[in-house]
Structures are given as structure tokens and as C-alpha cells.
């Protein structure tokens, strides 16, 4: 016999929610005649309908203490279990012990006793890793309906979190953990670990990879490869710089995002920060006065310090060898005329991040714009 769900089932569920005195039976029909009774106990959350195969008369059984008993008479009834939201039917017990079929036919007895067992729905979150690290917990993690599950990302020594893929989508935020809240479906989480100062870039679209929390690249489309990045010296304020390069072909421009430390910066200073792309690290360092161009003023500034002989300031130590000398003057002079490309698209002073787009790679520096 075909089961009737939809509006009928919803009506039964609503009826089961009505307050009923425990000593009153919910009898929808009494076949009279043979005195055969059916008691149905509910374990978990759900309801059961019993429909007389010959007459079509129906009784409904909700959770009650004591369990509901109906006079159903002789013959066969079809029992069908309907789980509440977040629950699922597991099995029949009592006179139908171990039976899993739902709906099922039941031949009435003098005093029949059947239990419908409902259990919480359980979903699987599949956690996996690529590279040297782990996720805790890892593997197929069962989670009950409506529950939450947290995952911690643990890179091995010398490695860092380079990408996080949640349900097939790359996270555009650097995370060290992730929580699935109010779980109502299966999920997947995949964490990529790369050696420090590198990022293994997968094939695909909308790829987001990290060199750590300080730098991120977002590719529109890539065939895969490895990006390398080194956080380089930056002398001004709380800003930072990365020397980033890739050796593979990618489609369209790439979004570059850097974090900066706002220590010592006012809100006005932060709003003036720019994301710049220089052709080389030496050119980046040669702009010692931070005016956006390597020119004669930079040469003169370094040369004057060399003449004084005793004054040392790291910003003027262009080759970073712990001494300001003629070698630094030569480097600045050889980069005369170098200017950076301003690739700034936006800045968030709340998140301390600045981002921009480029089709080329070299030095990416965050600097205060004095020009």
C-alpha cells in the first residue's frame, strides 16, 4: 500500500505537538469486533501511522508515557514511521525486532507491542591534508545533526598553511582553524601545507594560496606550480615587503594581499599606505627617502653618510651588510630612474591588509605614499 506523507504527515506532526493528558488515548477509529490492541512505543523523535489494509482506517502514535494503545481489530495494518527534523528511522523493535523495512505490514495480535526507534541524523565531515602537516581531527569525522565541529590545522616544522579548501572552495582568508556550525549536511575540508617561503599552487580556478598570514596570492586560473616568496627587510613604520615570484603560466592578473603591522602608524598614515611593485630588491632598497623614485637625492643621502663615516642607519644600508659604504652608493647610483608600479586596489585599516592586482612578479612592498 502506498504511504501518504506530505500534508497528511505534517498534520500528524502538529497533532503530536498538542498537549494531551497522559491518561487519555488518542483514538481515531474503533473497528469494533475482535479485541486486538496495538501499543506503539516511540524511541527518539518521530511518529508512526498504522493503517488498516482492508478498511483504510488510520491511527497515529506519538511519543507518550505510557505509550499509546489503540484497538485496531484483527487483520493487517501497515506501519509507517516518520522521523522529526534532524532524526531518521533506525529499526522496529518489540514484535518486529530487528526489522528495518519502513513502511512494513504487521499482522495484529491480541496485545501487540511494537517500538519505532529513531536516531539522530549523523553527517560526515571528511578532513584531509596535502603536504607536511595534519588536521585535528582528521579522516571521516561523524557529526550529529545540528552540532558543531572544529578543526585545527597543524603544520610540521619548516612548513606553513598554504591553502584551505572547504567544500570544494578555496578560502580567501588565512585560517589556522575552522568550525562547521549547525551541521545539516556532509562536508569536506582539505588543508595544504607548503615549505616555508613557498606556496604549492594547485590547478583550477579561484585559487587562493598563502605564504603565511602575511601574504596571499589569488589566481583566476592556473595550471599549477610553485610560487616562492621571501619576506624582506622594510625599514618604515609597521609596513612590510615580500619578494614574490612564480615560474608557471596563469590566466589574467593575480591579486596580491599583504598584512602590515600598524604599530606606530596613525589612521591617516595607514590610509596613505600603498602596495608597490618594484622590478628588483635593490631598486626597492635604493629609494632610501621613500619618495617613489630612485634619484640623485637618494645617492646624495647615502654618499653624505659615507663621508661622515660614523653614522649608521639601516635604511641607508642598501645591501644590508651592516655598514654604509661606497658599495651602497654604487647600488643606488646603478638604479637611478627606477620607479615602482602602484598596484593598490584597496586597504582595510580594520584588518590591517592591503591588496592589489598585477600580471608581473617581483618585489611587493607596502609603503607610506609621500608623493
Do 135 and 189 contact (CB within 8 A), yes or no?
yes
pLDDT at 34: 61
Same domain, 13 and 67: yes
CATH number of 38's domain: 2.60.40
CB atoms within 10 A of CB 275: 28
Look up residue 147 and give its DSSP letter: -
CA distance 60 to 49: 4
User: For residue 52, is it within any domain?
Assistant: yes
Same domain assignment for residues 113 and 167: no
Chain-centroid distance of CA 279 in Å reads 35
163 contacts 226 by C-beta, under 8 angstroms: no
Separation between Cα atoms, residue 159 and residue 117, nearest integer Å: 48
Q: Are residues 130 and 140 in the same domain?
A: yes
Provide the pLDDT for residue 357: 92
86 and 188 together in one domain: no
CA 64 to chain centre: 42
Q: Where among 65, 95, 120 does a domain terminate?
A: 120
- Is residue 164 located within the same domain as residue 66? no
Centre a 10 Å sphere on the Cβ of residue 32 and count the other Cβ atoms it contains.
8
Look at residue 248 and tell me if it is in a domain: no
Ramachandran angles phi, psi of 332, nearest 5°: -65, -45
Cα–Cα dist 356/347, whole Å: 9
What's the pLDDT score for residue 234?
A: 65
From CA 49, how far away is CA 67, in angstroms rounded? 14
Q: Tell me: do 180 and 106 sit in the same domain.
A: no
What does the pLDDT read at residue 320? Answer: 85
CA atoms within 13 A on the CB side of 49: 22
Alpha helices, H only, the chain:
6-17, 267-271, 281-286, 296-308, 326-334
CA geometry: angle 246, 347, 235, nearest 5 deg? 70
Here the cell at position 283 is: 631598486
User: Is 173 among the domain residues?
Assistant: yes
Question: Rounded to two decimals, what is the model's pTM?
Answer: 0.76
Q: Of 120, 138, 162, which marks where a domain is finished? A: 120
Q: Are residues 125 and 191 in the same domain?
A: yes
Half-sphere exposure of 85 (CA within 13 A, CB side): 6
Does any domain span residue 192? yes
Number of structural domains the chain divides into: 2
| Distances, alpha carbon 52 to alpha carbons 55, 59, 76, 163, in Å | 6, 9, 6, 59
Range of the domain at 74: 6-120
Assigned domain for 45 exists: yes
Residue 115 shares a structural domain with residue 17: yes
Of 180, 196, 212, the domain-final residue: 196
Q: Which residues of the chain have pLDDT under 50?
A: 1-15, 17-33, 369-371
Q: What is the pLDDT of residue 5?
A: 32
User: For residues 96 and 34, what is the distance between their CA atoms, to the nearest angstrom?
Assistant: 22
Amino acid at each position: 500500500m502506498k504511504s501518504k506523507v506530505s500534508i497528511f504527515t505534517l498534520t500528524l506532526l502538529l497533532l503530536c505537538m498538542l498537549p494531551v493528558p497522559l491518561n487519555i488515548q488518542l483514538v481515531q477509529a474503533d473497528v469494533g469486533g475482535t479485541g486486538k490492541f496495538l501499543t506503539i512505543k516511540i524511541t527518539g523523535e518521530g511518529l508512526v501511522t498504522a493503517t488498516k489494509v482492508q478498511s483504510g482506517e488510520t491511527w497515529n502514535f506519538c511519543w507518550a508515557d505510557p505509550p499509546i494503545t489503540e484497538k485496531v481489530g484483527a487483520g493487517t495494518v501497515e506501519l509507517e514511521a516518520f522521523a522529526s527534523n534532524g532524526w531518521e528511522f533506525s529499526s522496529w523493535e518489540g514484535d518486529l525486532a530487528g526489522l528495518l523495512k519502513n513502511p512494513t505490514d504487521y499482522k495484529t495480535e491480541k496485545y501487540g507491542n511494537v517500538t519505532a526507534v529513531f536516531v539522530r541524523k549523523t553527517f560526515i565531515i571528511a578532513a584531509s591534508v596535502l603536504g607536511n602537516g595534519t588536521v585535528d581531527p582528521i579522516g571521516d569525522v561523524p557529526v550529529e545533526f545540528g552540532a558543531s565541529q572544529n578543526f585545527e590545522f597543524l603544520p610540521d616544522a619548516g612548513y606553513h598553511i598554504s591553502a584551505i579548501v572547504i567544500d570544494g572552495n578555496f578560502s580567501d582568508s588565512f585560517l589556522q582553524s575552522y568550525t562547521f556550525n549547525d551541521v545539516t549536511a556532509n562536508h569536506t575540508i582539505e588543508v595544504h601545507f607548503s615549505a616555508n617561503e613557498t606556496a604549492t599552487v594547485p590547478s583550477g580556478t579561484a585559487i587562493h594560496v598563502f605564504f603565511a598570514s602575511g601574504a596571499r596570492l589569488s589566481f583566476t586560473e592556473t595550471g599549477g606550480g610553485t610560487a616562492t616568496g621571501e619576506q624582506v627587510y622594510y625599514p618604515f613604520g609597521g609596513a612590510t615587503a615580500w619578494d614574490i615570484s612564480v615560474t608557471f603560466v596563469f590566466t589574467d592578473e593575480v591579486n596580491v594581499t599583504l598584512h602590515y603591522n600598524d604599530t606606530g602608524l596613525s589612521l591617516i598614515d595607514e590610509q596613505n599606505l600603498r602596495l608597490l611593485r618594484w622590478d628588483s630588491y635593490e631598486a626597492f632598497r635604493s629609494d632610501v627617502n621613500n619618495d617613489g623614485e630612485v634619484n640623485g637625492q637618494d645617492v646624495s643621502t647615502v654618499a653624505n653618510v659615507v663621508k661622515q663615516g660614523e653614522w649608521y642607519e639601516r635604511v641607508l644600508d642598501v645591501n644590508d651588510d651592516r655598514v654604509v659604504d661606497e658599495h651602497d652608493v654604487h647600488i643606488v647610483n646603478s638604479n637611478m630612474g627606477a620607479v615602482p608600479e602602484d598596484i593598490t586596489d584597496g586597504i582595510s585599516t580594520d584588518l590591517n591588509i592591503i591588496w592589489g592586482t598585477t600580471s608581473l612578479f617581483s618585489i611587493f612592498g607596502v609603503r607610506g605614499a609621500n608623493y
